[in-house]
Amino acid sequence: MKQKMVINSKEWDKIFQETKIANAILDRILHHATVVSIVGDSYRLKDHLTKENE
């Protein structure tokens, strides 16, 4: 049974406190994964900033 998982962090080495460990964990997670890379501004952040400036 396949399951979906969303992982979002650019600071894996800070979470695991060592770059080699972070890279090894991500390598194992991503080995058979389908990676969807989303580029661009976040709509939620844009809406939040718009409401803050009103």
Q: What is the per-residue pLDDT across 2-36, written as a single tens digit (0 to 9) for each? A: 777 777 767 776 777 888 888 888 888 888 888 88
What is the per-residue pLDDT for 33?
84
Provide the pLDDT for residue 4. 77
What whole-number distance in Å separates Cα of residue 48 and Cα of residue 9? 20
Q: Rounded to two decimals, what is the model's pTM?
A: 0.47
